[in-house]
Structure 1
Amino acid sequence: MKILIIEDDPNVLELVELTFELGWPDIKLIKAVTGEQGMNALESEPPDAVILDIGLPDTNGFEIVKAIRLFSDVPILMLTVRVDERDVVKALTLGADDYLTKPFRQMELLARIKAITRRSHQGDQDLKVSHGLWRFGKTLTELYHGQQVFHLTPIQGQIMQTLIKQAGQFVSAETLAVKIWGEHHAATADDLRVHIHHIRKKLDPSDSKLIVNKPGQGYMFSPD
């Protein structure tokens, strides 16, 4: 498996390289320090996932996400020092699959990369999960309501798979986090909240009750 990282900070590049050497040695890490180099690498040696910094010397990560999504659905993890929710939502809206703020924990980086590349393993995708008119298409990134299709990121698909399977019941935030990022995740409640917020905006911006949440109980898919 190949991972492309587009990042201009040599310290971050060194840390990411060490992280994969220790935690996932089978990975081939392709490094680019500018947006232009990254786009060239995408075309010459297509990766299985992209780690993308928002602040780059020749452009910004938002523009790179838009450019990538014109020709590829490769999973993208945004790496950023920005913690403003508007930046996170913007990245997800443009087509990023997940985000991680700097400084980051090495095991969390591995967990998030594994989560966004998991869509290639069909054993992780129970496409028979459905509720009423809600069903999945060929992958968890295609969610249908009748004939209308909603395009989700892999993480959004994993969230909806779990919620639809337990439709009408609350699923704890911890259960969802383990499903997405694994048992040793370091995700926060805010991470999950941002993804849920974005799913709501995609599925039905005017209906906040499609996915309801209750403090202490978690989230529930309640389309009825």
Structure 2
Amino acid sequence: MKILIIEDDPGIVELVSLTFELGWPDVKLIVADTGEKGMNILESDRPDAVILDIGLPDTTGFEIIKAIRLFSDVPILMLTVRIDERDVVKALTLGADDYLTKPFRQMELLARIKAITRRTQHGDQDLKVSNGPWHFGKTLTELYRGQQIFHLTPIQGLIMQSLIKQAGQFVSAETLAAKIWGEHHAATADDLRVHIHHLRKKFDENRSGSGFISNKPGLGYMLVGE
């Protein structure tokens, strides 16, 4: 597997390199310190995933996400020092799959990369799961409500897979986080909430109405009926 990191901070690049050397040595890491170099490498080397810094010397990560999504659906994990949820939702809306805030834990980085590349694997692709009008297409990133299709990120697909399986019941935030990022994740409730918010926004933008995903403090999230 090849992973491209577009990051101009040598310290972050060194940390990411060490993380993969220790935790996922089969990965080949390709480095670009500008957006332009990153785009050139993306087109020539076709990596399996991209780790993208939001603040770059020649452009912004937002512009890079938009450019990548014009021709590729490669999984994108954005790195950001920003904690403004609006920036995160903007990146997810443009096509990023997940985000990680600097400074980050090394094992958390690996967990998130593995989560967003899971769509190229088959271990979690239980596509037969359905409930009422909800069902998946060829992958977990194709969700149908009746005849209407929603194109999801891998993480959104894993969330909806769990909620559809247990429709009408609350699924705890901890259970969802473990499903997405693994048992030893360090994700917070806010991380999950951002992805749920983006799912709700996606459903509403497609004019399907809102209120499909209910939440209750202490209980978690639930897919509700019509």
Shorter chain as denominator, the TM-score bin is: over 0.9
| SS of match in other structure, 1:124 | coil
Q: Which amino acid aligns with 2:57?
A: P
1:136 aligns with 136
CA distance in 2: counterparts of 1:100 and 1:111, whole angstroms: 11
**Does the CA-based 8 Å contact 1:209-1:223 persist in structure 2?**
no
CA distance in 1: counterparts of 2:192 and 2:220, whole angstroms: 11
CA distance in 2: counterparts of 1:131 and 1:200, whole angstroms: 18
| SS of match in other structure, 1:192 | helix
Tell me how far 1:208 sits from its aligned partner: 4.0
- What percent of counterpart residues are identical? 83
1:117 aligns with 117
Structure 1 runs not aligned, ≥5 long: none
1:64-143 alignment, distance < 5 Å: 64-143=64-143
1:215 aligns with 217
**Does the CA-based 8 Å contact 1:78-1:99 persist in structure 2?**
yes
**Does the CA-based 8 Å contact 1:4-1:30 persist in structure 2?**
yes
User: Which whole-Å deviations, capped at 9, do the CAs of 1:31-60 have from their partners, x for residues lacking one?
Assistant: 000000000000110011000000000000
CA distance in 2: counterparts of 1:59 and 1:123, whole angstroms: 37
CA distance in 2: counterparts of 1:215 and 1:84, whole angstroms: 22
1:158 aligns with 158
**Does the CA-based 8 Å contact 2:203-2:210 persist in structure 1?**
no
CA distance in 1: counterparts of 2:17 and 2:23, whole angstroms: 10
CA distance in 2: counterparts of 1:163 and 1:212, whole angstroms: 10
**Does the CA-based 8 Å contact 1:92-1:198 persist in structure 2?**
yes
2:184 aligns with 184
| SS of match in other structure, 2:222 | strand
| SS of match in other structure, 2:143 | strand
Q: Which amino acid aligns with 1:49?
A: A
Structure 2 runs not aligned, ≥5 long: none
| SS of match in other structure, 1:204 | helix
CA distance in 2: counterparts of 1:87 and 1:223, whole angstroms: 31
Q: Which amino acid aligns with 1:32?
A: A
Q: Which amino acid aligns with 1:27?
A: V
Q: Which amino acid aligns with 1:220?
A: M
Tell me how far 1:122 sits from its aligned partner: 1.6
User: Which whole-Å deviations, capped at 9, do the CAs of 1:68-117 have from their partners, x for residues lacking one?
Assistant: 00000000000010000000000000000000000000000000000000
Q: Which amino acid aligns with 2:189?
A: A
1:21 aligns with 21
Q: Number of residues paired by the alignment?
A: 224
**Does the CA-based 8 Å contact 2:6-2:34 persist in structure 1?**
yes
1:9 aligns with 9
Name segments (4+ residues, structure 1) moved above 6 Å: none
Q: Which amino acid aligns with 2:50?
A: V
TM-score, length-normalised on structure 2? Answer: 0.97
CA RMSD of aligned residues (A): 0.9
**Does the CA-based 8 Å contact 2:100-2:109 persist in structure 1?**
yes
Q: Which amino acid aligns with 1:200?
A: R
**Does the CA-based 8 Å contact 2:8-2:56 persist in structure 1?**
yes
TM-score, length-normalised on structure 1? Answer: 0.98
| SS of match in other structure, 1:5 | strand
CA distance in 2: counterparts of 1:29 and 1:223, whole angstroms: 45
**Does the CA-based 8 Å contact 1:129-1:164 persist in structure 2?**
yes
CA distance in 1: counterparts of 2:121 and 2:225, whole angstroms: 29
